Amino acid sequence: MSPTLRINAERLNSTLQSTCTQWGALSAPSTGMCRLTLSKEDKETRDWLVDECKALGCQVKIDQMGNIFAIRAGSAKDRLPIGMGSHMDTQPAGGRYDGILGVQAALEVLRTLHENKIETNCPIALIDWTNEEGARFPGAMMASGVWSTKSSTPLEACWATQDKEGTLMKDALQEIGYLGDTSCDYKENGLECHFELHIEQGPLLEKEGKAVGVVTAVQGMKWYAIRVDGVEGHSGTTPMPERSDALVTASRLITAVRDTALKTGLGFATVGVINSDTASQATIPAGVDFIIDIRCSTDEFVDQLATRILKAFDSIIEEEKNGTTYKIKRTWGLPESKFHPRCIDTVREVALQEVGEDQVMDMRSNAGHDSAWTSRVCPTSMIFVPSKDGISHNPNEYTSPEHCALGAQIMLQSVLSYDERVGKGEY
């Protein structure tokens, strides 16, 4: 470990801001982003990133899901790369830090190693994971899922997912030139370990007055697609008591999702997406679709909360007695993840050295991350830096340049510390 080696904070922040302005910025004065995965903006950012990494002497591999692995060689030829991964895609109205900071910080680490001619034992890899957001192609953390657990996230199924325009993911990959040859499988293109710097996306660090979160786990999540069926009818002639109005029932169910999460305190439950079959103001809706997103600290809590919500649904259907019914379908899930003590300890040690005990806390992540998947197949942990007002998935998302730089510095030192132990034969 080289305790005096420091990343270039100004370079990190100006690169982050300028690339965001260039590719996917929402209209000023908003500093929001719309850089949907595999879009033109995403392609341009990827092309730039690949060029930058190649200029630093990295070997760049693109895998079958478009994941970018930019690998700086190490001296120990028999070791896998130490990974620094995150994502550069955003929500349709997201911010400049969610995911983007992690990849930019990884690039800054590579730049720092390069200009200081640091020789590491392990290769060091920057990874840009494809479609973390799941905002264009449904299925968040999709490509890290394929890489880590093909059995639960099959490659062919992911290729076959469609965006709203009906474009297949495989075609979208091909179209922007990122349908690579490298196997999207940790067994064939593996990592020694995986570190990820990310914004917290919640209010805890700010509330506690801390600068760094040492992430020990990621909460479990499940998505459920709900379909409510009723009977279409004319809004001016169907008597109020005789209606089988799918939207009224759906409205009561959506309210119950929130109320049940609030009341039980088991975790988070959110309905983000709703669609009614009807496009006419004069028609009683016959069908409504919505998706419930449930997240709790443990998988058991996720299942408990889901059970409680469905019980509330059944009471409402029983109470309405209006002929409406609902169907439920599990669409996506991410089991709870416990990070690896080696990686957790490395990040904690480095953070304590960098800013001292007052500024550091252990925490779990309430949002899903690519690291949740990588943790299943290689030692993993994450570094969190504060989000202003806890806001994320929103154009107002903000993390100060100082905190961005601090995160990148801890990433650099964590990678070097882990590498040193590998060199010593400890890991």
Which of 252, 326, 398, 405 lies at the binding interface for a second copy (CB under 8 A)? 252
Binding status of residue 162 toward a second copy by CB under 8 A: no
Q: Measure the CA–CA gap between 359 and 212, rounded to whole angstroms.
A: 6
Residue 23 DSSP SS3: coil
Binding status of residue 172 toward a second copy by CB under 8 A: no
Residue 251 DSSP SS3: helix
Binding status of residue 91 toward a second copy by CB under 8 A: yes
Q: Measure the CA–CA gap between 79 and 97, rounded to whole angstroms.
A: 31
Identify residues 98-127 at the interface with a second copy (CB under 8 A).
none
Q: Are 34 and 24 in contact (CB under 8 A)?
A: yes
- Find the shortest distance in angstroms from Cβ 334 to a second copy: 10
Residue identified by tokens 């990974």 is 83
Which of 180, 368, 379, 407 lies at the binding interface for a second copy (CB under 8 A)? 368
Q: How many CB atoms lie within 10 A of CB 24?
A: 24
Q: Are 423 and 247 in contact (CB under 8 A)?
A: no
Residue 364: enclosing H or E segment and its boundaries?
Answer: strand 360-365
Binding status of residue 231 toward a second copy by CB under 8 A: yes
- Radius of gyration of the chain from its Cα atoms, rounded to whole angstroms: 23
DSSP at 80: P
First to last CA, the chain: 15
Residue 242 DSSP SS3: helix
- Find the shortest distance in angstroms from Cβ 16 to a second copy: 20
Identify residues 373-392 at the interface with a second copy (CB under 8 A).
390-392
Q: How many helices (H) and strands (E) does the chain have?
A: 12, 15
Binding status of residue 276 toward a second copy by CB under 8 A: yes
Q: List Cα–Cα distances, 181 to 62, 126, 184, in angstroms.
A: 7, 18, 9
- Find the shortest distance in angstroms from Cβ 224 to a second copy: 10
Binding status of residue 394 toward a second copy by CB under 8 A: yes
User: Nearer to a second copy by C-beta: 58 or 284?
Assistant: 284
User: Nearer to a second copy by C-beta: 124 or 312?
Assistant: 312
Which of 15, 17, 235, 297 lies at the binding interface for a second copy (CB under 8 A)? 235
Please tell me the total number of residues recorded for the chain in this structure. 427
Runs of H (alpha helix) within 229-273: 246-264
User: Nearer to a second copy by C-beta: 236 or 425?
Assistant: 236
User: Nearer to a second copy by C-beta: 117 or 164?
Assistant: 164
334 φψ region: left (φ > 0), alpha (ψ -120 to 50), beta (else): beta
User: Nearer to a second copy by C-beta: 136 or 150?
Assistant: 136
Q: Measure the CA–CA gap between 337 and 299, rounded to whole angstroms.
A: 9
User: Nearer to a second copy by C-beta: 166 or 236?
Assistant: 236
Q: Which stretch binds a second copy (CB under 8 A): 106-114, 188-196, 198-206, 351-359?
A: 198-206
User: Nearer to a second copy by C-beta: 56 or 93?
Assistant: 93
Q: Are 33 and 20 in contact (CB under 8 A)?
A: yes
Which of 180, 202, 230, 379 lies at the binding interface for a second copy (CB under 8 A)? 202
Which of 183, 270, 297, 298 lies at the binding interface for a second copy (CB under 8 A)? 270
- Find the shortest distance in angstroms from Cβ 204 to a second copy: 9
The pairing of beta strand 193-199 with beta strand 380-385? parallel
Q: Which stretch binds a second copy (CB under 8 A): 40-48, 167-175, 235-243, 412-420?
A: 235-243
Binding status of residue 258 toward a second copy by CB under 8 A: yes
Binding status of residue 278 toward a second copy by CB under 8 A: yes
Q: Which stretch binds a second copy (CB under 8 A): 40-48, 60-68, 208-216, 279-287?
A: 279-287
Identify residues 2-21 at the interface with a second copy (CB under 8 A).
none
Binding status of residue 237 toward a second copy by CB under 8 A: yes
Q: Measure the CA–CA gap between 24 and 35, rounded to whole angstroms.
A: 5
DSSP at 4: T
Residue identified by tokens 């660090």 is 205
Identify residues 125-154 at the interface with a second copy (CB under 8 A).
133-135, 138, 140
Q: Which two tokens stand for residue 301?
A: 């809590």
Binding status of residue 164 toward a second copy by CB under 8 A: yes
Which of 7, 38, 106, 221 lies at the binding interface for a second copy (CB under 8 A)? 221
Identify residues 46-85 at the interface with a second copy (CB under 8 A).
none
Binding status of residue 293 toward a second copy by CB under 8 A: yes
Q: Are 246 and 287 in contact (CB under 8 A)?
A: yes
Handedness of CA 41, 386, 416, 146 (dihedral sign): negative
Binding site for a second copy (CB under 8 A): 91-93, 133-135, 138, 140, 164, 200-203, 219, 221, 223, 231-243, 245, 247-248, 250-252, 254-255, 258, 261-262, 268-274, 276-286, 291, 293, 295, 366-368, 390-395
